[in-house]
C-alpha cells in the first residue's frame, strides 16, 4: 500500500506537468472505486490547475472552483503520459490536459478514490485527522500529551491518523527500530526524551524515504514509472529471521493491531 512518502513522491512527480495547465477533459472508465466517483468532478473541465498539495495520504488537485481529492488505495498509481497511449485494463481515470498530456490513474484493486470538494467547503475524509509528521506541530510534547493514559501499543499509537497522519506500517517499524523502542510498549510508558527520539526518527525516516523515491514492494512506482529505492535502506521491515544490523540477533515478526511488525528483541526495549 502506498504510504506517505510514496504519495508525496507522486505529488512531486506530477506537479510540474499539471500545475498551470487547463483540464481539457475527465474520463471515468468505472463508476466506482472505493466509493462512487462523483459526477461533480466533471466541473474541472475547462479549469486551470492552480496547485497540487497533499494531506495525509490524499492528493489535492486544486482549481478555482474546487478540489479533486485522490487516494491511491492499496494498489493505485498515477502516470503522466502522452495522450495517444491507449488505456489498459486497470486504467480507470484519465485527466487530459491542454498540453496534450494525460494524468492516468491505474488501480487493479479499485480501492482508491477520486472525490470532489467545492471551493470553500471541507470534505469528511480530511476531517478529524492529526498533524503532518514533517511539520513543527508534530513534536515530542504533543505526542507525550496525546499518549497520556493510552495503554495501546506504541506502534499502533503512531499509526493512528487521529494522532499523526501518514506514519504507515513500514515506517513505523523502521522508526521504532532506529529509536530502540519496543513496538509493544504502551504509548503512555514512553518518557519525554523517548518521544523526542522517536519523533526525530519518524521525521528522518520519512524524509529519507521521500528522497529515495519511496519504497517499492509490489505496487508502487513513481509518476515516471521508475521504482522507489528506499527498500534498499530498510533495516528490519520484511526481514524476519534475518540478522539484526546492530546486534546480529534474528529479527522477529509478529502482528500488532493486525499488521505485521518487525523488530529486534535485543536492541528494542
Q: Which residue has the cell 475524509?
A: 125
Answer yes or no: is 218 a known binding residue.
no
Instruction: Name the pairing type of β-strands 77-82 and 101-106.
Output: antiparallel
What residues are annotated to the active site? 2-3, 57, 259
Mark residue 238 as left, alpha or beta (left: phi above 0; alpha: psi -120 to 50; beta: remaining): left
What is the rounded CA–CA span in Å between residue 228 and residue 208? 11
Answer yes or no: is 42 a known binding residue.
no
Answer yes or no: is 150 a known binding residue.
yes
Cα dihedral 143/146/148/151 (nearest 10):
-90
For the chain, what is the total number of helices (H) and then of strands (E)? 5, 10
SS3 198: helix
Residues at the annotated binding site for DNA?
A: 90, 109, 150
Amino acid at each position: 500500500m502506498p504510504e506517505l512518502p510514496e504519495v508525496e513522491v507522486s505529488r512531486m512527480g506530477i506537479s510540474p506537468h499539471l500545475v498551470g495547465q487547463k483540464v481539457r477533459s475527465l474520463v471515468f472508465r468505472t463508476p466506482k472505486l472505493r466509493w462512487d466517483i462523483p459526477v461533480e468532478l466533471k466541473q474541472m473541465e475547462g479549469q486551470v490547475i492552480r496547485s497540487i498539495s497533499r494531506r495525509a495520504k490524499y492528493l489535492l488537485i486544486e482549481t478555482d472552483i474546487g478540489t479533486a481529492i485522490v487516494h491511491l488505495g492499496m494498489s493505485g498509481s498515477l502516470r503522466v503520459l502522452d495522450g495517444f497511449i491507449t488505456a489498459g485494463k486497470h486504467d480507470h481515470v484519465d485527466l487530459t490536459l491542454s498540453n496534450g498530456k494525460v494524468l492516468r490513474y491505474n488501480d487493479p484493486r479499485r480501492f482508491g478514490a477520486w472525490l470532489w470538494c467545492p471551493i470553500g467547503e471541507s470534505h469528511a475524509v480530511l476531517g478529524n485527522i492529526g498533524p503532518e509528521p514533517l511539520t513543527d506541530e508534530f513534536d515530542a510534547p504533543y505526542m507525550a500529551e496525546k499518549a497520556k493514559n493510552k495503554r495501546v501499543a506504541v506502534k499502533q499509537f503512531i499509526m493512528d491518523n487521529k494522532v499523526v497522519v501518514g506514519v504507515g506500517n513500514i515506517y513505523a517499524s523502521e522508526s521504532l527500530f532506529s529509536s530502540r523502542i519496543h513496538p509493544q510498549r504502551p504509548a503512555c510508558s514512553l518518557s519525554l526524551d523517548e518521544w523526542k527520539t522517536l519523533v526525530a526518527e519518524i521525521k528522518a525516516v520519512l524524509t529519507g524515504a521521500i528522497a529515495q523515491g519511496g519504497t517499492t514492494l509490489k505496487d508502487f512506482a513513481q509518476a515516471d514509472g521508475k521504482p522507489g529505492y528506499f527498500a534498499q535502506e530498510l533495516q528490519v521491515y520484511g526481514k524476519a529471521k534475518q540478522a539484526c544490523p546492530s546486534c546480529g540477533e534474528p529479527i522477529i515478526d509478529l502482528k500488532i493491531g493486525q499488521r505485521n511488525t518487525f523488530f529486534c528483541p535485543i536492541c528494542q526495549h
